[in-house]
A and B are shown apart, each in its own frame.
Chain A
Amino acid sequence: MNRSLVLPIVIPLLTAVLCLLFFRKPQIQRWVSVIGAMALLVVSLWTLRFIWDEGIQAVQIGNWPAPFGITLVADLFSAVMIVLAGVLGLAVAVYSLDSVDAQRQAFGYHPLMHFLLMGVCGAFLTGDLFNLYVWFEVMLMASFVLLALGGERGQMEGAIKYVTLNLLSSAIFLAALGLLYGLAGTLNMADLARKFASSATASSNAIVTALSMLFLGAFGIKAAIFPLFFWLPASYHTPPVAVTALFSGLLTKVGVYSLIRVFTLIFIQEFDYTHTLLLVIAGLTMITGVLGAVAQNEMRRLLSFHIISQIGYPLMGLGIFTPLGLAAAVYFVFHVSLAKSTLFLISGVIGRLRGTFDLKKLGGLYKAQAWLAALFLTAALSLAGLPPSSGFFAKLSLVQAGLGQGQFVIVAISLGVSLLTLFSMIKIWNEVFWKRPPVLEDVDGGEITLQRDWTWLAPILFLVGLTLLISFGIGPAFEIAAQAGRQLMTPQLYIQAVLGGGR
């Protein structure tokens, strides 16, 4: 039933609409929001199952045939990303119930969150570059408002930087789309891939590669790669933690998804040049991100810099450009989004317990809340890549892929950056959990228990559980990623699913 491919877009839309209809009754919105997020997760898992069984699926919206109408396509990579959206959507929907203040909830927090999820799922599913632009805009509109909602001073400052940079990225994206359409006469991704593959000459390849750099710039800003990342640490620590967790798990990953999609399907003519460039950018992104993180003393800012650093790894997989490299990239994106969002959600709990995110003012939480420390440690060590966590397997397979292609420099960088990541995770651990609290009377800043505050803790447990699941269930989990990598490396499958085999 590939017609139901549209459900991951329709369900968040329906949820958002129902929230709008109950705009004056936030109490009802809360439950609609959680139920909608559950439905999205169920549908996304079902989609993954379906794509796993049946291969790449495509559906033509409005029944207009492929290169002319709008196509939705799901390969395994898309399906995995949609599952990620479902998982994080549910975790954040529950976490928001109490952590987001009543005023924000009354001014449309819930519908906006689901509009954001709709945009994200749309971007993962679309098979048309212009349509991808539209979904980017849907997603950005919602994220602009979510970032600014509440109107605190710091939020406004962050929102201005975020909006300016992302609008610039959209402008570059749109200009690139115009040029590409002028060149090829189509924006359907499968059709583009077919045209470029069949009419490959040296001069046309040069133009296409030049165009691909525009796309690299546009998606690079969204994905926060070196040197276009500076909007991210300037804005991500300002909104409520639930919003940051959702953004960190999904928004930059949409940029990464788009990069992987276009640089495996469309822009593969001169991959010696483009993919080497990607490797260089990957290395620089890892290094600058992690060095930026080392210098931070505010927990959320520190974690924001780690988002950047971790973006380098999937890019490394893309730059290596082998099935194993791409499989590792897919697995890495899933793993890092889980770990990162968990860490942000935990930082929210810490912020609630102690009323600050400043590492200098925190301390002694291990004594007060040992189980919180354990949850933090699981996610943090997974992020750093210690065995037997999911991060270890993700980095191991990236390193294997890199060594297989003789890319020793990037392998060395990725391993060094892992050490620095471990160092800054340990820094948080020492400052927040281990050291003696600076002011003793601050220790009783509040108690948090599973019975009373389950909306704070259940999402964290859920995400940590999933991290453990993909760590210990590495066999099946990596098998899905490996299959996704193989699909990405054989664009013919994608083209065939969209345009049909007969052409």
Chain B
Amino acid sequence: MPEGGKIDSKQAIFLMVSMVLPTTFLFVTSAIAHLARQDGWISILLATLTALLIAWLVANLSRRFPGKTLFQFPEVILGRWPGKVVALLYIWWYIQVSSEVLREFGSFMVSAFMPDTPLIVFELLIMAIAAYTVRNGLEVFTRINQIVLPLILGSFVILIFLATPEMNLKRLLPVFIENGAAPVIKGAVMPAAWIGNIVTMAVLIPYLNKAKEAYKIAVSATLITSSFLISTFIADISIFGPEVSAGWFFSALNGIRMIHLANFLERMEPIAMTIWIAGGLVKISVFYWVTVLGSAQWLELKDYKPLVLPVGVILLALSIMAHDSIMDLLTFLGTIVIFQDLIIFQVGIPLLLLVVAIIRGQVGTGIEEKEGGKQG
């Protein structure tokens, strides 16, 4: 097997949180508020429900094929060539996701902090580190994440606490009546596509030391992520109100910029930058690792290390070439990507695979047995 690492359940939860939260928190409010206005937190709740369904789907599917990842079990379900095609689609999708994440990372640094620096500088630097991390394997960046994520979540709580003097919770009123259901549902699509990346569990499950807990892990990670997203949303809306929030690119950054206490506790946005870089590194590493691992499994290689650099170059080039501006990135992420992500890759294909597997009666040998065998 290309990847030999094993991680425990807590590490897996941390990893799945880092895969979504550290970058999405920055623009969650503006992305949702322009559709669902002050009711966006309901949208996030809906998105959470969707993600829980996806998690169930994936956990159910993986349980039937222990030891096999998302890039391997389609072959068992659909037969060799159709399965290969599905796996290839997933590889293509992960290449796209990784390069978009990379582009988001660079775009934020350039537009908010260092306008004169070329985008490629940030992307190249983070990719160099990510390549090194991925080369070292799953266990390594999981452990990095174990250090990074508690710091991120801690500073998160502190920042929200410090911004409370600026908040007016009345800005969240009136609830629901004004906008009705349609905008709330529209607003739920984007966060659903973000949290829905929990589908990546299908790649991670074979590397858990307790694969039985897969669903529990996915659920905890989803709940942690969405509770932080909801707090960010409520904080931003109660600072800026829905109209102004919808206008920002990075609403949480503007929220953090508002912090000024006792005339010295102010200008806290370097913390936002730190969260972004540290969390962004883990996030990019996860998707990068999945892409590389998937490619190696698709090609049936013994080791994925030879693929790290070539795939990295592809990701880097794609992220630079895909968009000409941050506006283009935003409209792309807000329209095509979310439907493609959600409908095809997070719900559609897994559902199809599950249905076929059930029809063909592929129950799987059961993880318990395998674990028992391993010990014996």
Decide whether A and B assemble into one complex: no
Chain B residues in the interface with A (C-beta under 8 A)? none
Chain A residues in the interface with B (C-beta under 8 A)? none
